[in-house]
Structure 1
Amino acid sequence: MNDTDYKMVWNLDSIFNGGSASSELEDHMNQTKLGVSELEELIQKVTPVPEQLENILKRLTEMKVRISQIRSFAICLLSVDPDDQGAQYYRGEATVLQSRYDSIMSALKRVLASIEEMEWGSLLASENLKDYCFILREFREVAEREPSRDVSNLMVDGYHAWGQFYQSFMSSIRVQVRGEELSVGQAINLRTHADDSVRRESHEALVAKWTEHAGQFAQILNHLTGFRLNMYKSMGVEDVLHIPLAQNRMKPETLDAMLSVMDKYKEPFAEYLNVKAEMNGDPKMKSYHFWSPTSHDYQGMEYGEAAALIEERFHAFGAEMGKFAEKAFREGWVEAENRPGKSAVPICAGFPLTGESRVFMTFPGTFKGVLTLVHELGHAFHNHAMKTVNGMNKSYPMCLAETASTFAEMIILEAAMDEAVTDQEKLFLLDEKLKRSVMNFMNLHARFIFEKRVHEERRKGFIPAARLNELMGSAMEEGYAGALDEVPVHSWIWTPHFYKTESPFYNFPYTFGYLLALHLFARAKETGKGFEDDYMALLRDSGSMSAEDLVMKHLGEDITEESFWEKGMELCVKDSEEFVRLARSQ
């Protein structure tokens, strides 16, 4: 019996004591502003000499880490209290500092792009720059696509400000369910409620709220998309996927191969949805029943039980992962209390200066909540694995970020499957696995289709809310192969990924990470406990290699080929076939 007292409220004071009124935070901010100002002067005099470049890269790394520390702290404060004006101030100041930092980086990239080829080769061969070769090559390649300083300055109060306004607006919304006032996050958590009438009521309450505010959200999305398109135009970029692919360090051929496989394998997941709908007494899967549990008895779990389970399973995988879980839970890295006023979006915030992370969610007391918690802890473990990596090489792309989070989910799901005794337990767990497959192969495909079409239509002018509903509805029909009833046409409003200014098209990276995690987990099962070292080596390399090179180095696979993606997809198809078999034998 585990008698550890797992606190549900995190400790932020160990990072900056005093919240948004912290004098430590103010001092940190002032020193960072001074450091950025010094860098702005230094970049004007930089020459392509190894010692100079090494110095400026070290200074850039220091400022990058310091700005991240401020931004992450502000985001954490606003997650628990969106009305914290001090936190809003620091988030705004961090955005300004980031814009200035980006301008310095753009200037450096232009310097690198101007270097003659022979001199460039000599630079890369320098002992001073051996740790920076990958990132320097990337900087040189992307130099022509960098926004101008004027555009970067406009992004602070234009582009990024709209994204921040979306977050604040969403956090302020309240709905009534069963006479109780709930935040959006609390209402969305009711999707897993055992009572179908509660699921329906929360769904209808949210739909009413989306209908009420659709015009305001349409303005936000239009302004964000319009700004992005104009910014791309100023950079000479026509293809809206060009930047997202570059951010993910992926080739177009890799995305095309993955999308092609997703298209081919819709039928098994549509059959799963149809069978589950039959279990709910419906001819077709209603969107608000998708997350419903197949078994009410296997559903509940207290937070302390969840934390103890995660610690135990992480230890079973490897010593480093086990020690990490203990540290996260015992030292107050997790905010999980279920209370009103919190943000709707689970997050993992990295604090690279102190080598820590913080995980935020609203724990609903369900197995799905356990998987959400472990997903965010997977992100935190990725940060932990990279503690020893040079700061300039810590920035890994979104597609690889989602690998570690999905891998962590697999550890919990696989262990639960191994311990399942009854068919009901197996059905419940297969359902949880398949929900993730459907999200990655159907929902995220629908989001990709929607986002692409929104960018196409926005070129022609403003897109009204009613038209956004139509675009979302048709994308959902296509993504789910017609297997969904009462299609959630307002999901363009409550899907935060459409409003992430740093990461457009934050949809296909999840699918990439999901399928890659399947491969990694299959290797882990073959290798045994010693796989942890190989896994951490891959995570450490994730900030200094392309996606294609990383997978080739650590798995020996070519991800531009459909055959790679089909291997992972076939594992998920087996889950669907087993679910259908068990469900129809009941």
Structure 2
Amino acid sequence: MEKISNQRVWDLDKVFRGGSKSIQFLEHINLLEALVHELEGSVKTFITTLSKNDLVKVVHLVKNIATIQLYLSQANSFVTCLLAENPKDQDAAILRGKVAQKESRFEKELSKVKKILTNTKEDVWESILETEELQEYRFILNEWRENADKNLSEAELNLISDLMVDGYHAWGHFYNNLVSSINVNIQINGKEENLSVGQAINLRSHHNEEVRKEAHYVLESIWKEKEQLFSKILNHIAGFRIQVNNKLGNKNVIEDPLKKNRMKEETLNTMWTVISKYKQPFSNYLKRKAEMLGDSSMKAYNFWAPITKSNQEITFEEAAKLISEYFSQFGIELECFVRKAFYEGWIEAENRPNKSAIPFCAGFPLTGESRVFMTFSGTFLNLLTLVHELGHAFHNHAMKSVNGLNKRYPLSIAETASTFTEMIIFEMAMKKANSKEEKIFILDEKLKRSVMNFMNIHSRFLFEQRFYVERKQGIVSANRLNQLMEESINEAYAGSLEQPSIYSWVWTPHYYITQSPFYNFPYTFGYLFALGIYAKAKEKGKGFEKDYLNLLRDSGSMNVEDLVMKHLGEDITSEEFWEKGMELCVQDAEEFIKLTSS
């Protein structure tokens, strides 16, 4: 069994040697070029529909598409990692452009393939799906056929694809570069520190209220200074998205995210309905915590504040040992996996300026590895962020044995795996707590997660809904964006958060992720779904790990309703399913108030 390594800087050379000047990576791009060129040639051989004589060609075509997706994923992950560790790396920016150009061509051809599938007669289509080599891709192929861009001509599809590279996606990249370039000057213990945005955000859990408060307002002043620029970026991203949706005939901008998450609108609406019923216990928690901090109501800059002295600081080495120890209580495969991640340099956690502010996990499917990126500054919150991203990496690990097209899973399920690993840490930490103070500390951290998912994420969802309604009528001003954000926060938090950041629309990166509109509700779905899975895990003990791995492996080839029914036997369009998870979280809130009142 591998030892735990103290290394805080990842090793990207194991994927491609030489960083942004990697000859090996250029060879990868050349191979990707050859694969895309082959696909373009193959698609030209088809007419507007398929016949039974095309079976052999279709099998080859599908395999080629699956291979290209893997090569693109490998390339995109590498460039993402390079730009995260050094946002000013111009060579990496050039490489991103090269990969984006290949991806644009690939997406054009994939759109053509989907259109051909849509035009194919039903009897021919069924015979294609019965082909032995394609049976395992039945779900994906049907999804392609159903979700094809039926309303667009080939010329329109090509134009949209071209515009996405230097228009749509470019705005998202510009946002990331802009945030990464910002320096934040903050007084800490009488000394001025020059920090990245990520480092400044980490101060929200600092033990000193004055530091938390200053970090909050310094960041707010920066966002206010740059609000016009950020509003332009957001408006352009949304404007492009709305125009494409209009072309596709989508009535609502939420249609595309629901398709990508393989979720019914009925499921989403039921989830939010249940959450809206259960706001009060979490408002009570916020009020009680505020009282413990000497206030009558919760101020935004105090939300992440530690309320006890217990376990406030933790070193990276201690975090690595704890994660390994706690994961071992769930299953041997998870324990071995996380030891490998630490030992083989899969984690970039160094606390330094001039790196990206956004934690993430990047998967490398061709080499069967992942890389986790974050800034570790010694807090329990950092530990949970690390665990969260390692959960994504374990999901990637589970998919190693899954073939081709079935490796891709929706965001809603991705957030389930990451949240599940957080549950393991919370459960074990609670069991090992030696005092009431430690239990209060752990419950507080758990409840922060509940508030984030049931209130903060809800505010993001409400804001995005309302913003898109107004954006259809024209540009939405920065001042109006601030108003929409404030209204959404007040509604989602049921008025229980004081002095909220009206610039949340600026510093929340999810609004600017062009590949994933409405990247908010998947977190809440994943959170509650993970609670249901974890309840099953506690019933079965270590033997559940095999079942859990099977669930993750199915996540790329089923819609979420069928996945939950198959592995948990639950109907997620019913309020009863969501109430089970909510009740567990309500118990945490009640226990917190009980412990802090005695």
Which category describes the TM-score, using the shorter chain as reference length?
Answer: over 0.9
Give yes or no for the alignment of 1:318 onto 2:331. yes
Give yes or no for the alignment of 1:123 onto 2:128. yes
Give the match for residue 36 of structure 1: 36
Give yes or no for the alignment of 1:445 onto 2:450. no
Give yes or no for the alignment of 1:375 onto 2:388. yes
2:448 to 415, 435, 438: 435
Give the match for residue 79 of structure 1: 84
2:61 to 56, 62, 70: 56
Tell me the distance in 2 between the aligned counterparts of 1:19 and 1:144: 38
Following superposition of structure 1 onto structure 2, how do residues 408-419 of structure 1 map, counting pairs within 5 Å? 408-419=421-432
Give the match for residue 27 of structure 2: 27
Give the match for residue 357 of structure 1: 370
2:160 to 146, 151, 157: 151
Letter in 1 for 2:198: G
Give the match for residue 458 of structure 1: 471
The gaps in structure 2 that reach 5 residues or longer are: none
Partner deviation per Cα, 1:376-423 (whole Å, 9 max, x = no partner): 000000000000101211110010000000000011110000111211
State whether residues 235 and 476 of structure 2, in contact with CA within 8 Å, keep that contact through their aligned partners in structure 1.
yes
| Residue 53 of structure 1, CA deviation | 1.2
Task: Tell me the SS of whatever aligns to 2:401.
Answer: coil
Q: Aligned pair count?
A: 584
Give the match for residue 143 of structure 2: 138
1:103 to 86, 96, 108: 108
Partner deviation per Cα, 1:349-395 (whole Å, 9 max, x = no partner): 00011110000000010111100000000000000000010121111
State whether residues 351 and 357 of structure 1, in contact with CA within 8 Å, keep that contact through their aligned partners in structure 2.
yes
Following superposition of structure 1 onto structure 2, how do residues 488-499 of structure 1 map, counting pairs within 5 Å? 488-499=501-512
| Residue 144 of structure 1, CA deviation | 3.1
Give the match for residue 176 of structure 1: 185
Give the match for residue 91 of structure 1: 96
| Residue 3 of structure 1, CA deviation | 8.3
Tell me the distance in 2 between the aligned counterparts of 1:240 and 1:355: 35
Give the match for residue 6 of structure 2: 6
Letter in 2 for 1:557: E
Give the match for residue 65 of structure 1: 70
| Residue 124 of structure 1, CA deviation | 1.2
My pick for the range that moved more, 308-317 or 489-498, is 308-317
2:319 to 288, 295, 306: 306
The gaps in structure 1 that reach 5 residues or longer are: none
Letter in 2 for 1:176: N
State whether residues 460 and 488 of structure 2, in contact with CA within 8 Å, keep that contact through their aligned partners in structure 1.
yes
Letter in 1 for 2:178: F
Tell me the distance in 2 between the aligned counterparts of 1:236 and 1:136: 21
Task: Tell me the SS of whatever aligns to 1:530.
Answer: helix
Tell me the distance in 1 between the aligned counterparts of 2:96 and 2:543: 42
Letter in 2 for 1:238: K
Tell me the distance in 1 between the aligned counterparts of 2:344 and 2:260: 33
Give the match for residue 483 of structure 1: 496
My pick for the range that moved more, 366-375 or 47-56, is 47-56
Partner deviation per Cα, 1:179-236 (whole Å, 9 max, x = no partner): 1110000000000100001000111110110011000000000000001000111111
| Residue 255 of structure 1, CA deviation | 0.4
State whether residues 70 and 90 of structure 1, in contact with CA within 8 Å, keep that contact through their aligned partners in structure 2.
no
Give the match for residue 166 of structure 1: 175
Letter in 2 for 1:134: F
2:517 to 504, 513, 516: 504
| Residue 23 of structure 1, CA deviation | 0.4
Give the match for residue 18 of structure 2: 18
Letter in 2 for 1:432: E
State whether residues 250 and 548 of structure 1, in contact with CA within 8 Å, keep that contact through their aligned partners in structure 2.
yes
State whether residues 270 and 575 of structure 2, in contact with CA within 8 Å, keep that contact through their aligned partners in structure 1.
yes
Tell me the distance in 2 between the aligned counterparts of 1:86 and 1:294: 45
State whether residues 175 and 205 of structure 1, in contact with CA within 8 Å, keep that contact through their aligned partners in structure 2.
yes
1:328 to 329, 341, 351: 341
| Residue 69 of structure 1, CA deviation | 1.0
State whether residues 50 and 128 of structure 1, in contact with CA within 8 Å, keep that contact through their aligned partners in structure 2.
no
My pick for the range that moved more, 290-299 or 257-266, is 290-299
Letter in 2 for 1:542: S
| Residue 86 of structure 1, CA deviation | 1.0
| Residue 120 of structure 1, CA deviation | 1.3
Tell me the distance in 2 between the aligned counterparts of 1:96 and 1:68: 14
Task: Tell me the SS of whatever aligns to 1:194.
Answer: coil
Letter in 1 for 2:452: M
Percent identity between matched residues is 55
Tell me the distance in 2 between the aligned counterparts of 1:91 and 1:537: 34
Following superposition of structure 1 onto structure 2, how do residues 557-568 of structure 1 map, counting pairs within 5 Å? 557-568=570-581
Letter in 1 for 2:74: Q
| Residue 4 of structure 1, CA deviation | 4.5
State whether residues 274 and 285 of structure 1, in contact with CA within 8 Å, keep that contact through their aligned partners in structure 2.
yes
State whether residues 289 and 298 of structure 2, in contact with CA within 8 Å, keep that contact through their aligned partners in structure 1.
yes
2:586 to 573, 577, 582: 573
Tell me the distance in 1 between the aligned counterparts of 2:377 and 2:585: 27
Tell me the distance in 2 between the aligned counterparts of 1:43 and 1:315: 49
Tell me the distance in 1 between the aligned counterparts of 2:304 and 2:3: 31
Task: Tell me the SS of whatever aligns to 2:295.
Answer: coil
State whether residues 83 and 92 of structure 2, in contact with CA within 8 Å, keep that contact through their aligned partners in structure 1.
yes
1:191 to 204, 216, 219: 204
TM-score for both structures, normalised by structure 2: 0.96
